[in-house]
Amino acid sequence: MIVGLRNLILGVIGCVLGLWMGAGRWLFGIGGELTIWYLPLIGVPFALLQLWTVRRIRIATDRGRRVGRAPYVSLALSWACAIGFGLTVPDLSGGELVTILSLFGGDFWLGMSIALCNPLGIIAFATTIAALGFAAAAGREPRPEEDEDEPGMVPHPLER
């Protein structure tokens, strides 16, 4: 696949999932007043981190570096957790907390959703940051090798 197309797909998925995390409940008719907090404080930062990761992948490929599997696996894990977060994050609709899962499963799933949404959100952000780190590491310039026999090196002060 062409690198530009791959990065475009990765960026679009990241932005759509950021929107899903912030306002996905509106698709099911249970969007509420908490969306004004979720969208700018969770959805937008997630999308920006995803785009930053894609940019670092692009920088690494432009420099001719090989980008391993780690950034892509981390992105996929963050996407899975972002989908789970969107399904489990509660919103105030009609004066009560409702999640997408509780909409279809009842009160048991409301309690489970509230218990699971924070860990899923934290893991989604953590794996996105890990993907960013892996992509940045892939694009770094290699470190110069040090040779101990190099004539320009100063001897250690305790060896005198």
pLDDT along the chain (160 residues), means of 10: 85 96 92 92 97 95 92 97 96 90 90 94 98 94 66 70
Q: Using CA atoms, how far apart are residues 147 and 81, in angstroms rounded to an integer?
A: 46
**96-98 vs 91-93, strand pairing mode:** antiparallel
What's the pLDDT score for residue 62? 92
Quote the DSSP letter at residue 112: H
Q: Residue 106 in 3-state DSSP?
A: coil
Domain ranges of the chain: 3-140
Report the length, in residues, of the chain.
160
Q: What pLDDT is stored for residue 142 in this prediction? A: 76
How far is residue 36's CA from residue 32's CA, in Å, rounded to a whole number? Answer: 8
pLDDT of residue 151: 62
> Phi and psi (nearest 5°) for 106?
95, -165
pTM over 0.75: yes
* pLDDT at position 150: 58
Distance, CA of 125 to CA of 61 (rounded, Å): 24
Angle at 94 between CA 90 and CA 96, to 5 degrees: 45
- Residue 44: partners with Cβ closer than 8 Å, 6 or more residues away: 18, 22
